[in-house]
Amino acid sequence: MRSTLCGDAWSHAIVHAKGALRQGTSLCSFAQHSLLNFGDIYTMVRFLRASAVVCALLMSCGKNAEPVPIEGWQRYTDPIRNFSIEYPANWSHRSIAGEQFYALSIPGAEQRFIEYGEGPSAAKLEMRVIKTSVPLDQYIKEDKVFADEAYMQEQTRLANTPATKLSYKFEAPDGTFEGFKVYAIKDSFITTVEFAAFGGTFDYYKPAIERILGSVVLPEVQAVPSRVDTVPKGPEPPSSTFVRARGSGYSLEIPDNFRVKGVKAQGALGGSEYLGSRLDCTIRVDILDASKQSNLEKIANDNRASFGGGAPQHVKLGGLNAVLFTYSPQKGIERRVYLAVNDGKLYRIFLTWNKQEEATYKPVFERAIATFKFE
């Protein structure tokens, strides 16, 4: 009874809560989500709180998930920027040199930390380093995944540097989901350290968290001769190395310096946004229910006005029939929208780029869409 009731309450809560997910201030995000009004967000947040209370009461009679015991420690030191952090030796881990270190207590649990639905009761540790001229407050605002009401903000220190800490906590099917993210800026690098755990296991890891935070070494600026200019100007371009990223029912290849952000457009079942250092050049995948209407031609005609009003092209996506709209949602922004139906779901893929960056991003996005697969 406990798991069934909480599962139902959580399913409704996550649908409403994700409707209130924070987007970046990019032109493309604004264009995609301008139909979401603040009244809807307020209603969704209130519903989430009510659902969370119900789940909390029901779960109090059950047992939290078992945390993964920590079996020793190792240190990751970045080979390019020399940032460093300790992590549990028995956790799976990966890294992007110069940018990111990521560790999981349970291998393969990445998707749960993107969609925040059901899945393994895992914990994650992530350290990310971004070279940017964006003020810290603005970066934090754009980096938020949940609505503002979900966070508690406080000032702290990271590696002896002033920092901002955002904490969050809410109920999930397997118990309390809890975590935090610490932001620090030094020498034009913003460093973030995030720890989160499902299944009510966060308290178990508190001693480990204290050790992890105490182990952090911030990135170093490499000394170079003053007459040699090696500092990149502007946003970092997409990497030429691609990795396969997986979403719900699909996968595609993206540059290895892109990050994935769980998003949910109004009326969608879920989705993901893939972005690099430019917020106006993104790949976005929305997944919608097509069980009641799966006729692709009718779907295309019904949505034609939303995608520039032009006639769609008939193309292939992941080996299936698809339609493609090409238009400019606003001055200086180009967009392609692919629609395809698979397994009772409509997949809506946005490729959006700033026209001034077309030579850089258009080939990258074309390669990504060519590698799209349904799984």
* pLDDT tens column, 235-290: 788 988 888 888 888 999 999 888 888 777 778 888 889 988 888 899 999 999 99
- Indicate whether 68 belongs to any domain: no
> What type of residue sits at position 300?
A
pLDDT in tens, 221-248: 764 444 444 444 567 889 888 888 888 8
299 in the same domain as 208 = no
203 in the same domain as 97 = yes
pLDDT at 328: 92
196 in the same domain as 86 = yes
Separation between Cα atoms, residue 371 and residue 15, nearest integer Å: 29
Closest CA to 178 of 144, 147, 150: 150
Reading the block at residue 124, the tokens are 């994650």
142 in the same domain as 108 = yes
86 in the same domain as 47 = no
141 in the same domain as 49 = no
Q: With helix as H, strand as E and coil as C, how does the chain read?
A: CHHHHHHHHHHHHHHHHHHCCCCCCCHHHHHHHCCCCHHHHHHHHHHHHHHHHHHHHHHCCCCCCCCCCCCCEEEEECCCCCCEEEEECCCEEEEECCCEEEEECCCCCCCHHHHCCCCCCCEEEEEEEEECCCCHHHHHHHHCCCCHHHEEEEEEEECCEEEEEEEEEEEECCEEEEEEEEEEEECCEEEEEEEEECCCCHHHHHHHHHHHHHHCECCCCCCCCCCCCCCCCCCCCCCCCEEEEEECCEEEEEECCCEEEECCCCCCCEEEEEECCCCCCEEEEEEEECCCCCCHHHHHHHHHHHHCCCCCEEEEECCEEEEEEEEEEECCEEEEEEEEEECCEEEEEEEEEEHHHHHHHHHHHHHHHHCCEEC
31 has pLDDT over 80: no
Reading the block at residue 284, the tokens are 């976005």
Reading the block at residue 96, the tokens are 């992007």
* CATH code, domain with 196: 3.40.1000.10
Q: CA of 59: how far to CAs of 105, 174, 179, 251, 275, in Å?
A: 23, 8, 19, 34, 37
- Indicate whether 230 belongs to any domain: no
Reading the block at residue 123, the tokens are 């914990």
286 in the same domain as 189 = no
Domain C-terminal end among 10, 27, 59: 59
Separation between Cα atoms, residue 285 and residue 268, nearest integer Å: 10
pLDDT in tens, 118-147: 889 999 999 999 888 888 998 898 888 888
200 in the same domain as 142 = yes
Q: How many domains does the chain have?
A: 3
198 has pLDDT over 90: yes
Which is higher by pLDDT, 33 or 159?
A: 159
Q: State the CB neighbour count (10 A cutoff) for residue 263.
A: 24
Q: 136 φ, ψ to 5°?
A: -60, -45
Q: State the CB neighbour count (10 A cutoff) for residue 13.
A: 23
335 in the same domain as 276 = yes
pLDDT at 337: 95
pLDDT over 90, % of the chain: 51
Q: What is the mean pLDDT of residues 8-26?
A: 43
* Cα-Cα-Cα-Cα dihedral sign, residues 276, 278, 280, 281: negative
- Indicate whether 368 belongs to any domain: yes
Which is higher by pLDDT, 165 or 242?
A: 165
211 has pLDDT over 60: yes
109 in the same domain as 51 = no
353 in the same domain as 281 = yes
358 has pLDDT over 80: yes
- Indicate whether 237 belongs to any domain: no
Separation between Cα atoms, residue 36 and residue 56, nearest integer Å: 29
> What type of residue sits at position 31?
A
Domain C-terminal end among 168, 198, 215: 215
- Indicate whether 35 belongs to any domain: yes
- Indicate whether 227 belongs to any domain: no
- Indicate whether 124 belongs to any domain: yes
Q: What is the mean pLDDT of residues 21-40?
A: 41
- Indicate whether 7 belongs to any domain: yes
The band of 113, judged by pLDDT with boundaries at 50, 70 and 90, is confident
Separation between Cα atoms, residue 41 and residue 59, nearest integer Å: 26
pLDDT at 200: 94
Provide the residue range defining the domain that includes 147: 73-215
pTM above 0.75, yes or no: no
342 in the same domain as 262 = yes
